[in-house]
Amino acid sequence: MTAARADVWTALAVAMETAVEAWVGPDSFDDVLTAAQDGDEQAFGRLWRWAQPALLRWLSVVAPSGGEDVASEVWVSVIRGLDTFRGGDREFRAWFFTIARRRAVDGARHRQRRPRTVGLDGVDVPQPIELSEALAGEAAVATAIGLLRSLRPDQAEVVALRIIAGLTVPETAAVVGRSDAAVRLLCHRGLRTLAKHLGRDLVAEGSA
């Protein structure tokens, strides 16, 4: 990853602020998960508070219309399948966003329209400026979402899964049903596009 793309990656991650991080808290993820599977509402609430903010951020990129409705459907599916889930917090994160993607696709089909690139209402995607200026201040999250939406849908989906959901390349590949190489290429092209948009010069592939 070139320095410019790395800067874009870091700035977007900082702006989002609510990427799903590794589980932290007084109780282990395994203990909270077991309690939630046993019907403990407080334990399930802790899972919700951990994953919901990043889910809404991700849906605002890939399903800007009806994101909250899709999020509700995601949690209904989580409730139905929670008893069968096995794994730690990383596995839960991948499982969770696999469900989210399926519900987002179902929602798009239901609305009888294909995913498309859209602008963020009320937020202007910045003209080429310094990255620190583009992704700073109160509008940082909205600007970051607007930038991601400006990408092709397949690029936006993959970059958002990597940055917002915090998934690895193999985990992202499993969610979207692509190869690791395809995911890396989509990330590369998406970050390159964003870096160019923000006025950062990139070194051509193969040059020193």
Give SS3 for 131. Answer: helix
Q: What is the structure's pLDDT at 167?
A: 92
Give SS3 for 144. Answer: helix
In-domain check, residue 206: no
Q: Which two tokens stand for residue 134?
A: 């583009």
Range(s) of the domain holding residue 7: 3-197
In-domain check, residue 182: yes
**Beta carbons of 165 and 95 less than 8 angstroms apart:** no
The angle subtended at Cα 160 by Cα 155 and Cα 162, nearest 5°, is 100
The domain tally of the chain equals 1
Residue 149 neighbours by CB distance under 10 Å: 21
Low-confidence ranges of the chain (pLDDT < 70): 1-21, 110-141, 198-208
CATH number at residue 21: 1.10.1740.10
In-domain check, residue 89: yes
Eight-state DSSP code of residue 18 = -
pTM of this structure: 0.74
Q: What is the structure's pLDDT at 197?
A: 72
Q: Give the relative orientation of helices 169-176 and 89-110 as an angle to the nearest 10 degrees.
A: 30
